[in-house]
Amino acid sequence: MLAACGLLVGMLSGFFGEGGEFLIVPALLLIIQMSMQRVVVTSVLVIALTGAPGLAARWWQRRNVTRGLMGLFALGGLGGMT
């Protein structure tokens, strides 16, 4: 059931291009019956994992981004997962 739900959420978020978190959170709440705190942490982890490649690419290319500011955003995201 969980794998089917994950496949459906992935297909819908890929089709619409955005909004995966709007589908993942209710799916985790309804299918797995996780606590809301664990769902939020899992959701932030998914966002961090999907955003990490873009962050790394910008970090190494140094395109119009201050590294210190990027570091603050990354630390803020990590702090939000605790």
pLDDT per position as a tens digit, 9-62 = 888 877 876 666 777 788 888 888 888 888 888 877 877 777 788 778 777 776
Tokens of 38: 């664990």
Question: Which residue is associated with the tokens 């190494």?
Answer: 60
What's the pLDDT band for 65 if we cut at 50, 70, 90? low
Calpha distance 30→58 (Å, rounded): 36
Higher pLDDT pick, 65 / 72: 72
The whole-model pTM stands at 0.57
- Looking at this protein, which amino acid is placed at residue 39? V
Domain boundaries in the chain?
1-33, 35-82
Whole-number pLDDT of residue 18: 62
Q: In degrees to the nearest 10, what's the CA dihedral of 60, 67, 62, 57? A: 40
